[in-house]
Amino acid sequence: MNTMRLIMALATLSGRPIHLSSVAAPDSDPDSIQLRVEATDPIRPGRGVRAHRGIVYSVPGRKLRVDILTPRTPGPHPLVVYVPGGGFVTARRAMAAGQRRYVAEAGFVVASIDYRTIRDGAIYRDGLADIATALSFLRLHADEYGIDPTRTALWGESAGGYLVAMAAGDPGLGVDAVLDVFGASDLSTVAEGFDAATVEAFTGPGAALPAYLLGPGHDMADHPDEVTGADPACHVTSETPPFLLLHGDDDRIVAPSQTARLHQALRRVGADSTRYVLQGAGHGALSNSARMWTSTQVMEIIVRFLRSRLASGS
């Protein structure tokens, strides 16, 4: 079973199937870089890393685990914490295996974490707490895994992109850079521009988004202050760490306007933000354009960003 089918199957089994819009939502951000991707040049990660799998980093009701990839070259190395997507229903740390290995081989310790979702009865604050706990655990064990605890980035996709963008607003985490790949910002408008059925599926009663934001049985329209407080675009300052945002203009799950909203908010306060729009790309593995996201072209943009923002002495 391929990744797209597996995620769809898990979501369906949970009673919260993932909907793909029948129409694309427009993206017209004037300050983003349009990127035509050569999907014929896929990454080919090798064996230049050591893998440490299934390490328990927290037990908030159930065991949360982290997989760690450490370069074989002498360290210590900057730390990149990968936060997977899954629609706030599931969070599989095994996601993006090839991409994570590629980044690790470029000279980073890459740690992929589990976190709590609505299947645990959790809300987004619990997910943020799990990220903070994982960072503390990894820094505490920095010597064991060859980590330089003074150089840290967060990397999230989809639901994980939302969480890392929110985590960036906490200066106490000591994060130096954030990579947000097709993540949401304003959860109440995440499906803006999609067909009516998809909007209802994502934001209506019983949907995963309001449940992860407010808890079960709540309507986002009845809690505008809480929705605003859970929007990373409302927490950015000039001290917010640098962001790299990536989105496909054919994303049928998270409207491209979501990362555009965050990008513009960052620019308004003078924070460092770069946003790429991949022409014809969908929502990562949940699309027919998955190879764009695993192309050398796109992954080198990510690696260059991490190197520039996590360089020693930067």
Question: Helix crossing, 97-105 with 296-309: angle to 10°?
Answer: 50
Check pLDDT > 80 for residue 175: yes
In this prediction, residues 114-142 reach a mean pLDDT of 98
- What is the percent of the chain where pLDDT is above 90? 87
Is 3-309 CATH 3.20.20.80?
A: no
User: What is the per-residue pLDDT for 165?
Assistant: 98
Q: Residue 31 to residues 21, 266, 270: CA-CA distances in angstroms?
A: 26, 12, 14
Query: How far apart, in whole angstroms, are the C-alpha atoms of residue 202 and residue 310?
Result: 36
Tokens 């997910």, residue located: 127
Residue 190 has a pLDDT of 95
Per DSSP, the chain holds a count of helices (H) and strands (E) of 11, 9
Look up residue 57 and give its two tokens: 């980093």
Quote the pTM value.
0.95
Distances (CA, A) of 196 to 19, 76, 127, 173, 188: 11, 50, 29, 39, 14
* pLDDT-based confidence at residue 5 (cuts at 50, 70, 90): low
Tell me: pLDDT of 129 over 70: yes
Q: What gap in Å lies between CA 123 and CA 162, rounded to an integer?
A: 13
What is the C-alpha separation between 63 and 122, in angstroms, rounded? Answer: 14
Q: Model confidence over 217-246: pLDDT tens digits? A: 899 999 999 999 999 999 999 999 999 999
Cα distance between residue 137 and residue 141, in whole Å: 6
Confidence at residue 39, expressed as pLDDT on a 0 to 100 scale: 78
Q: Please determine, for residue 311, whether its predicted confidence score (pLDDT) is greater than 90.
A: no
Q: Are strands 109-113 and 77-83 parallel, antiparallel or unpaired?
A: parallel
pLDDT attached to residue 48: 87
1: pLDDT confidence band, cut at 50, 70 and 90?
very low
Taking the domains of the chain in order of start, what are their residue ranges? 3-309
pLDDT tens digits for range 132-163: 999 999 999 999 999 999 999 999 999 999 99
